[in-house]
Amino acid sequence: MAHSHGEKKSSSGLSRVLGSGSAGLLELILFHPVDTVAKRLMTNESKIFESGKVLHNLNVAIFKKHADASVLKRYGSLFPGIEFGAAYKILQRVYKFGGQPYVNAYIGKHYGDTFRSTFSEKSAKTLIYATAGAIMGVGEIILLPLDVLKIKAQTNPDAFKGRGLVKIITEEGLNLYRGASWTAARNAPGSFALFGGSAFMKDYVFKLEKYSDATFLQDSLASIVGACTSIAAAQPLDVIKTRIQKQNFNDKTSGITILTNMVRNEGPGAFFKGLAPKIIVVGPKLVFSFTIAQQLMSIFDKW
């Protein structure tokens, strides 16, 4: 997803911001509806797989009060929180695409010998890349309020009760960081697996000396493997995080309580609700955003 350790930086900071930000915006427009579907399935607490009612239950869980509306209205109902989603997705992509290479280079410069003495040269390169991704994942909680507002708009719009963004921020304050510890716990292994899975493919399967030498197909396959590994590793904690963020602002139910209730009332399968649509969309989504970002970075760099 970024340049490997030891490679010369091929794009300026400005081009990286412009390219990754534009890619994030395009990604949002195309994939926000699928993200809404995944979030609503993850926060749905009723049974889906009942004999003869699967399609009906899915329809209600996904489209809620618009379940009986026209196809066009049902599709339109999948865009709540688009304004929060835009701010979150663009900043997230700029943060991850732009920040990971610098953390990767820093770890390689200051701790590279430790990694290489503990692991092999190739393994150290992969693990440094993955560790940089994990660090970026934990730091991503700074963007949590935007994610919280997006998820509430997607799954629990009544939580807003007609309040505007400024009023919500001033009234709720640190409440917008509820679930931060669960988010960090999810992001660390998820981001490690995302960057590590991609690096593993390029190092061990494609045997590339430099990640930037990867072809479009190699980048695509590496991103898909990394993304699917990341989603599977993070999904249980992601479900808990999403349910915390879905709640009304004055609801103080803890993550441990949510976890306990999930096990008691829904069984272990609850931790993987919404996994299928996330895996189905995450491959093409990451391939799309990565490819567009790299192309735009190159274009902007020539200006």
Region of residue 274 (left: phi > 0; alpha: psi -120 to 50; beta: else): left
Percent of the chain past pLDDT 70, that is, above it, reads 89
pTM over 0.85: no
* Structure confidence by residue, pLDDT tens digits, 212-224: 777 778 888 888 8
The number of C-alpha atoms within 13 Å of 126 and in the hemisphere containing its C-beta is 22
pLDDT at 190 over 80: yes
Q: What pLDDT sits at residue 298?
A: 66
Q: Which domains occur in the chain, in start order? A: 13-302 (1.50.40.10)
Task: Tell me the pLDDT band of 282, cut-offs 50, 70 and 90.
Answer: low
Given a contact cutoff of 8 angstroms between Cβ atoms, the answer to whether 3 and 9 are in contact is yes
**Least confident among 41-45, 199-203, 225-229:** 41-45
- Residue from 192, 186, 213, 198 nearest 287 by CA: 198
Distance CA 215, CA 221 (A): 10
Percent of the chain past pLDDT 90, that is, above it, reads 16
